[in-house]
């Protein structure tokens, strides 16, 4: 039986080629490369502990998390968004097997996830589980004519769940990337990988997600998505914020998402109620002027809050367009200005920085403190669905230490995560 030399593979993680790959995926210099080499080595030895050294040599695959740059609550009404892949990733060491069985050990779980690729029917009892994601990816790839097969994998992640960085999308895209790399010579393009992942999340996992998360994780860099049509238009952008003197920071306020389902659901429901009052299904079918002209009728059929949320939608789409243009022109000031305006609109018009009637308003406090520290020199806004969780800030290098120190003091040590924008999406790591 074939055996691999784990020491030889571990040695490859310290070569110049590996350092170049780590720089591409994670940014930074020699210190980051050393840190990643140690993380990859630890995962390799986890793989050996789980599976032994018999069989094919494992291959590393990396799938980044994502951040929502701008486009707050627009996708569900066929709007525009701008997202980005980040330098925090979900990482796998994986090798093919000839038995058709997928066995995946994930850090933090006591037992492996085991799926037989000869049984790919959707199972109701697997809804909202990792088993559903694995089985669903295999089903979709097989139905599309790609080769699938068994594999062993050890997985670890720095994309923390509940961080607003989309750990689930990173994992979905990672699964596609593994099967593509092991059995299809990595021929599947980034957009297709994203659409496969979205289908799996919708159909097997049971979550009606859009395409933003998967696209950013799969494609990398900055990703603009136009949801006007059933087949969204996806365009890649790049802007080196770090080179222009800025860090991207996600601030976790350590507030709970529990019991917020109704709050989240109210936003798309109210926007679609306004669209229905105008005679359609989604707001994208109408111009803002059509809403203004029929305001008395729409108010009567919906509510003032619904109207304000609809106005946010229209203005937010224009801000996303302005950010697209600012990136293409290299106009950092215009970009930051629109980020701030987006955050203010989410606070005032969309009203998703806190739950009405509750004294706990951590997102609003985080934005207020960020404004005091960054006004005139950076940007800040709610990150993701809102009501609880995280905000996003663009912080100039010279203010980073002070910003992190103050926010950690208020929201707890480690509340701030400093991110880099990763220029590439999910990929096989070249060693």
Take residue 155 and report the two structure tokens written for it. Answer: 């997985």
Query: What is the pLDDT confidence band of residue 257, given thresholds at 50, 70 and 90?
Result: low
Lowest mean pLDDT among 173-182, 226-235, 340-349: 226-235
Lowest mean pLDDT among 76-85, 226-235, 288-297: 226-235
Look at residue 164 in the predicted model and tell me its pLDDT.
59
Q: Which pLDDT tens digit goes with each residue over 6-31?
A: 999 999 999 999 999 999 999 988 99
Query: What is the pLDDT confidence band of residue 168, given thresholds at 50, 70 and 90?
Result: confident
d(CA 85, CA 289): 35
Residue 407: CB atoms within 10 A of its CB come to: 23
Q: pTM above the 0.85 mark? A: yes
Look at residue 151 in the predicted model and tell me its pLDDT.
98
Q: Which pLDDT tens digit goes with each residue over 304-319?
A: 999 999 999 999 999 9
Taken in order of first residue, the domains within the chain and their CATH numbers are 6-63+87-216+422-428 (3.30.230.10), 246-419 (3.30.70.890)
Rounded percentage of the chain residues whose pLDDT exceeds 90: 82
Q: What is the 3-state secondary structure (H, E, C) of the chain?
A: CCECCHHHHHHHCCCHHHHHHHHHHHCCCHHHHHHHHHHHHHHHHHHHHHHCCECCCCEEEEEEEEEEEECCCCHHHCCEEEEEEEEEEEEEEEEECCCCEEEEEECCCCCCEEEECCCCCCCHHHCCCHHHHHHHHHHHHHHCCCCCCCEEEEEEECCCCCCCCCHHHHHHHHHHHHHHHHHCCCCCCHHHHHHHHHHHHHHHHCCCCCCHHHHHHHHCCEEEEECCCCCCEEEEECCCCCCCCEEEEEEECCCCCCCCHHHHHHHHHHHHHHHHHHCCCCHHHCCHHHHHHCHHHHHHHCCHHHHHHHHHHHHHHHHHHHHHHHHHHCCHHHHHHHHHHHHHHHHHHHCCCCCCCCCCCHHHHHHHHHHHHHCCCCEEEEECCCCCCEEEEEEEHHHHHHHHHHHHHHHCCCCEEEECECCCCCEECCC
Q: What is the mean pLDDT of the chain?
A: 94
Indicate the pairing of strand 222-226 with strand 80-96: antiparallel
Look at residue 410 in the predicted model and tell me its pLDDT.
97
Look at residue 259 in the predicted model and tell me its pLDDT.
73
Residue 226's DSSP bridge partners are 80, 233
- Which of 413, 377, 362, 136 is closest to 245 using CA atoms? 377
Take residue 274 and report the two structure tokens written for it. Answer: 């306004």
**Longest CA–CA separation in the chain, Å:** 77
Torsion angle, CA of 341/342/344/349, rounded to 10 degrees?
120
Beta-carbon contacts of 45 under 8 Å, excluding residues fewer than 6 positions away, are: 6, 10
């Amino acid at each position: 039986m074939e055996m691999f030399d784990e020491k030889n593979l571990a040695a490859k993680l310290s070569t110049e080629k590996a350092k170049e790959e780590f720089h591409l995926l994670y940014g930074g210099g020699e210190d980051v490369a050393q840190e990643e080499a140690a993380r990859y080595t630890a995962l390799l030895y986890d793989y050996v502990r789980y599976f032994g050294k018999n069989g094919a040599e494992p291959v590393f695959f990396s799938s980044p998390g994502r951040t929502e740059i701008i486009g707050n609550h627009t996708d569900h009404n066929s709007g525009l968004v701008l997202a980005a892949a980040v330098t925090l990733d979900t990482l796998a060491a994986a090798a093919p097997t000839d038995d058709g069985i997928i066995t995946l050990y994930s850090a933090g779980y006591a037992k492996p996830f085991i799926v037989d690729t000869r049984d790919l029917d959707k199972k109701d009892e697997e809804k909202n589980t990792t088993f559903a994601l694995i089985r669903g990816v295999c089903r979709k790839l097989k139905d599309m004519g790609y080769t699938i097969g068994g594999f062993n994998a050890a997985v670890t992640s720095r994309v923390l769940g509940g961080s607003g960085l989309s750990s689930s999308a990173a994992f979905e895209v990672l699964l596609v990337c593994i099967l593509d790399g092991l059995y299809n010579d990595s021929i599947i393009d980034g957009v297709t990988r994203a659409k496969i992942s979205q289908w799996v999340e919708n159909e097997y996992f049971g979550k009606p997600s859009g395409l933003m998360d998967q696209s950013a994780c799969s494609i990398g860099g900055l990703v603009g998505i136009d949801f006007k049509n059933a087949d969204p238009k996806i365009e890649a952008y790049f802007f080196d914020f770090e080179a222009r003197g800025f860090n991207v920071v996600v601030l976790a306020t350590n507030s709970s998402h529990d019991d917020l389902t109704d709050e989240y659901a109210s936003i798309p429901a109210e926007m679609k109620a306004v669209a229905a009052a105008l005679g359609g299904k989604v707001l994208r079918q109408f111009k803002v002027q059509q809403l203004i002209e029929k305001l008395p009728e729409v108010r009567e059929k919906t509510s003032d809050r619904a109207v304000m949320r609809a106005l946010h939608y229209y203005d937010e789409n224009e801000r996303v367009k302005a950010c697209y243009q600012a990136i293409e022109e290299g106009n950092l000031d215009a970009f930051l200005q629109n980020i701030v305006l987006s955050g203010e609109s989410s606070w005032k018009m969309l009203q998703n920085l806190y739950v009405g009637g509750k004294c706990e308003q951590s997102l609003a406090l985080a934005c207020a403190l960020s404004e005091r520290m960054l006004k005139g020199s950076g940007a800040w806004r709610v990150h993701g669905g809102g009501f609880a969780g995280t905000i996003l800030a663009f912080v100039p290098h010279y203010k980073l230490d002070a910003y992190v120190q103050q926010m950690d003091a208020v929201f707890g040590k480690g509340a701030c995560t400093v991110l880099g924008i990763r220029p590439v999406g999910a990929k096989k790591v070249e060693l």
